[in-house]
Structure 1
Amino acid sequence: MSTVLLYLFYFFTFYAFLPGLISRMFGFRVFKKGLSDRHVSLTFDDGPDPVYTPRLLDVLQRYGVKATFFVVGKHAEAHPEIVERMHREGHSIGIHNYLHRSNWLMRPKTVAKQVRMTAEAIERITGEKPKLYRPPWGVMNVFDFASRSRMQIVLWSMMAGDWRESTGAEKIGARLSKSLRGGQVYLLHDCGNTFGADIGAPKHTIAALEKFIPEALERGFSFVRVDELIQTTAKARAKREPGPLRKALVAAWLLWERCFHALFRLQSAVPGDPRSFLFYRITAYHGETIPLADGDALRAGDKIVELHMNNGLLYEFGRKSRSPLQLAIQLIRAMEKAMPALAASVFLRGDAKSVKAVVGTSMVNRGVEQFGFTVADLPRGFFSVATKLYLKCLLSVIHPQGKDRLDERAEMLVPKRIAISANEMLRRYGDIAGEVAATSVESTDGQPA
């Protein structure tokens, strides 16, 4: 019995607790609060409700305020005319699962189905695909980070506690006013027909907003949709220098980089050069069979050259890049220069003939086919999920503007396995590698090779 409880503890910790902790403490893959002096966002969960949502829309329309609605798919299908009105009046519409159920209590496939069904319902009604997602109660599991990569997960910075009738309009309004500051993302509800909520609670929310909205407008604040606040925040962060915390994280990561190189005895593609773009080690391959471009295949147990990028240089590239696309271009150019040096370093080894292929796992894999690499999806499982989280955390830390820049072209940053056979590398880079090797020997001993 104790073993079963231990497994349940591990499952809950890694499937549910840690993802929620990471997202709330470090903001990984989520948007909670914006960077703005005067912009705030009102967000409403659980609707649409046939009684309260139209009343709420009337209030927002009266004051010219735009908001964001995270709708429950089943409710949206039941009241498409309300969703259509939200869209027509310029509000943003996001996903709140098809049924209001916790992601902790559903399998990843079930959560994916819930999101897909809600997205399809919203698109049928509005003609637009939703890009924002808020899981019920803000609860996420480990697969949400990876599987929701094309959607922005939105949490909140201020919760008014308006799902209970006992809270009352006066208390809700006081909480809203007290917390009024730029960048705030308010969590409110336009439907009380969900577990733990009171059916009549939204009437108090609407009454509170009748006083809060004009007060905030008089104080010089503007109400914007969450997607607009996200864009404003991204621009603000792009202008800021990295703060002390990010600098400390970068320094710690680069220190770990040196420890990692020493621990696994990584070798520079350019012997003796710590600023080489590529490092490697010789090891055995573990994984599914990968077809190679020359017709051969890489199988478990084959000896490979395992590639590793220089994260120090990656950080420098990130500082100079204005977008993930530009970062990808710089990395491809660096790869183009590094491949002949890598080939020279490998082919000069005494055990070069036993190497079957060169293999790496990279988030920047667009265009590597031009260097002879085969690109393959990571096999599903824990390694795939862990690798995606690891590499996204890495790029979030090393890029000066953090995750906002990366999210601009997130589809380009999906980790995949890249591989090139040793024979293909020799065919492509053998002649250049020989020149590189000769130059390396000459610069070392002063004599022609």
Structure 2
Amino acid sequence: MENLVLWCFYILTFYAFLPGVFSRIFGFRVFKRGRSDGEICLTFDDGPDPYYTAELLDLLKKYDAKATFFVVGANAEKNPDIVKRIHDEGHLIGIHNYVHKSNWLMRPGTVRKQIRKTSDVIEQITGSKSVYYRPPWGIVNLFDFGNLGHIQIILWSAMFGDWRKGVGADRLERRMMRKLRPGEVLLLHDCGITFGADEDAPANMLIALERYMQAATKKAYRFIRVDEMIKVTDEAKARTLSLGRRVLVRLWLIWEQCFHVLFNLKKTADPDPTFHYRVTRYHGEPVTMQDGNVLHKGDAVMELHFDNQKLFDMGRKARSTMQIAIQLIRGVEHALPYFADELVNNAKLVDVKALYGVSMIHRGADKLGFSIQDLPQGWFKSVSSIYLKILLSIIHPQGQSRLKDRSSMLVPKSIILSAELLKKRYHVETCIQSKEADHPLEEPVLKMAVDQSYGNSTNTPSAMS
């Protein structure tokens, strides 16, 4: 008898208790709180209810708010018109089992059937499947973490006991106001017919919710769906550095300082330089540049290197590949006149035939005057590719995912700009003498370069090396 009790205790602990602890406290394999500057998630369980859900939808429309409804499949079947209205008005519909029963009391196969049946009901009414799931009472079992396929489990960051009528609208309002801040995922109930709930409790919820929404509106907060909050949170996390990544960045910047000393990198007169350079010899095959001049092996070139601190700052502030691309091309636009002046005014650069760099920015670079060449197979191409991919994973908002999704596109190439063409286009006095007063990088040209490089998000910016 004692052994049986002990085994029951072990089963209960590992099947139910520990998974609940890991999901609620540590957020393991669940989404329960967002990270945003001005957005809040309203989520509603147990419905739909033919009266209270309709009242709730009217309230949400009044404040131009979007919400997420985790419906009980049996209730959805009874109220298809309400479910369709939820969908048609732009709200997200999630799954809350077919009957309001704890996952602790069901086998894994039964949980899957509950989810599948509710998903089928939602699809029959709205034409769309749901991939978001909230288990009743937020209770998961051991197999829910890996047994639900593509389903995303959603919990919450705050709940208020609104299923009990005795809480009252005023006390409920006070509880909710303590959670008036961005990123919160609020759990509320638009139906009171489940076990342990009071049938009329949603009336108090609606009163308190309107007061809460009034206060949120005054603070310019927005109410968004769970899927939108997940996206906002992922973008925010991409811009936040972990301890390991901070250490990696620090080591990377220290290495850059050593690199500058070892290779004697120099600056132009640019007070806020995007690039540094060194004079070296070209080692590739002969290249015919845009102005017809030919760059031969052994010719002197100005080899360009991004300022990595500046590049890192660009990546942290940007929310997308496009934003990084625009900043980088504007950096080139800003820097080229300074390089033209350097070539004209620095007697030590009289023999320089071209600007030279290795970059993953190659589509569209020809619009800026550069010739684009494949790197020859060998150790230099391999090392450059590895270095630039590591660099991308550090600076890009979604660096690791971009490496996985676009690895075939991340091919470094050499970009070469004739020194004569550079001086002719970008040096002010030379432009005037040549009657080329118009700046070659006016906005239409810049836009064309960006569109060609990143308009379809198939190319990823990286640093010249």
Counterpart of 1:182 in 2: which secondary structure? coil
Poorly superposed stretches of 4+, deviation over 4 Å = 243-247, 316-321, 328-331
CA distance in 2, matches of 1:210, 1:329: 46
Residue aligning to 1:109: 109
In the TM superposition, what is the alpha-carbon distance from 1:219 to its structure 2 partner?
1.4
Residue aligning to 2:430: none
Greater Rg by CA: 2
For residues 49-108 of structure 1, what are the alpha-carbon distances to aligned partners after superposition, in whole Å with 9 as ceiling and x for unaligned?
112110111111111111000000000011000000000101000000000000000000
Q: How does 1:87-106 map to 2 (within 5 A)?
A: 87-106=87-106
Counterpart of 1:94 in 2: which secondary structure? strand
CA distance in 2, matches of 1:63, 1:99: 31
Matched, 1:43 2:43: yes
RMSD: 2.6
In the TM superposition, what is the alpha-carbon distance from 1:110 to its structure 2 partner?
0.4
8 Å CA contact 1:44, 1:187 repeated in 2 = yes
CA distance in 2, matches of 1:191, 1:61: 19
CA distance in 2, matches of 1:180, 1:211: 11
8 Å CA contact 2:393, 2:403 repeated in 1 = no
Counterpart of 1:163 in 2: which secondary structure? coil
In the TM superposition, what is the alpha-carbon distance from 1:25 to its structure 2 partner?
2.2
CA distance in 2, matches of 1:187, 1:113: 25
Matched, 1:78 2:75: no
Residue aligning to 1:164: 164
For residues 411-432 of structure 1, what are the alpha-carbon distances to aligned partners after superposition, in whole Å with 9 as ceiling and x for unaligned?
xxxxxxxxxxxxxxxxxxxxxx
8 Å CA contact 1:317, 1:330 repeated in 2 = no
Residue aligning to 2:222: 222
Counterpart of 1:142 in 2: which secondary structure? coil
In the TM superposition, what is the alpha-carbon distance from 1:241 to its structure 2 partner?
0.4
TM-score (structure 2 length as normaliser): 0.54
Residue aligning to 1:232: 232
Matched, 1:322 2:399: yes
Q: How does 1:249-264 map to 2 (within 5 A)?
A: none
Code of the aligned partner of 2:43? T
Aligned residues with identical type, % of pairs? 52
Residue aligning to 1:27: 27
8 Å CA contact 1:317, 1:327 repeated in 2 = no
Larger mean CA deviation between 3-12 and 237-246 belongs to 237-246
Matched, 1:177 2:177: yes
Counterpart of 2:168 in 1: which secondary structure? helix
Residue aligning to 2:57: 57
Residue aligning to 1:289: none
Code of the aligned partner of 2:399? R
CA distance in 2, matches of 1:150, 1:49: 28
Counterpart of 1:69 in 2: which secondary structure? strand
In the TM superposition, what is the alpha-carbon distance from 1:240 to its structure 2 partner?
0.8
8 Å CA contact 1:318, 1:327 repeated in 2 = no
In the TM superposition, what is the alpha-carbon distance from 1:166 to its structure 2 partner?
0.2
TM-score (structure 1 length as normaliser): 0.56
For residues 149-191 of structure 1, what are the alpha-carbon distances to aligned partners after superposition, in whole Å with 9 as ceiling and x for unaligned?
4121110001011000000111111111121111000000000
Matched, 1:153 2:153: yes
Larger mean CA deviation between 130-139 and 212-221 belongs to 212-221
Residue 69 to residue 323, structure 1, CA distance change in 2 (3 Å): farther
For residues 332-383 of structure 1, what are the alpha-carbon distances to aligned partners after superposition, in whole Å with 9 as ceiling and x for unaligned?
x9xxxxxxxxxxxxxxxxxxxxxxxxxxxxxxxxxxxxxxxxxxxxxxxxxx
CA distance in 2, matches of 1:318, 1:73: 45
8 Å CA contact 2:39, 2:183 repeated in 1 = yes
Residue aligning to 1:205: 205
Q: How does 1:354-433 map to 2 (within 5 A)?
A: none
8 Å CA contact 1:42, 1:68 repeated in 2 = yes
8 Å CA contact 2:103, 2:139 repeated in 1 = yes
CA distance in 1, matches of 2:244, 2:188: 34
CA distance in 2, matches of 1:111, 1:10: 21
Residue aligning to 1:120: 120
Residue 97 to residue 58, structure 1, CA distance change in 2 (3 Å): same
Counterpart of 1:187 in 2: which secondary structure? strand
Residue 325 to residue 140, structure 1, CA distance change in 2 (3 Å): farther
Residue 58 to residue 239, structure 1, CA distance change in 2 (3 Å): same
For residues 202-256 of structure 1, what are the alpha-carbon distances to aligned partners after superposition, in whole Å with 9 as ceiling and x for unaligned?
0000111121111111112111011100000000001110148999xxxxxxxxx
8 Å CA contact 2:33, 2:184 repeated in 1 = yes
8 Å CA contact 1:162, 1:172 repeated in 2 = yes
Counterpart of 2:93 in 1: which secondary structure? strand
Residue 74 to residue 169, structure 1, CA distance change in 2 (3 Å): same
CA distance in 2, matches of 1:177, 1:73: 31
8 Å CA contact 2:393, 2:400 repeated in 1 = no
Q: How does 1:271-290 map to 2 (within 5 A)?
A: none
Structure 1 unaligned segments of length 5 or more: list them.
Answer: 248-315, 334-449
CA distance in 2, matches of 1:219, 1:29: 32
CA distance in 2, matches of 1:173, 1:83: 27
Residue 149 to residue 246, structure 1, CA distance change in 2 (3 Å): farther
CA distance in 1, matches of 2:17, 2:105: 12
How many residue pairs get aligned? The number is 266
Counterpart of 1:47 in 2: which secondary structure? coil
8 Å CA contact 1:48, 1:191 repeated in 2 = yes
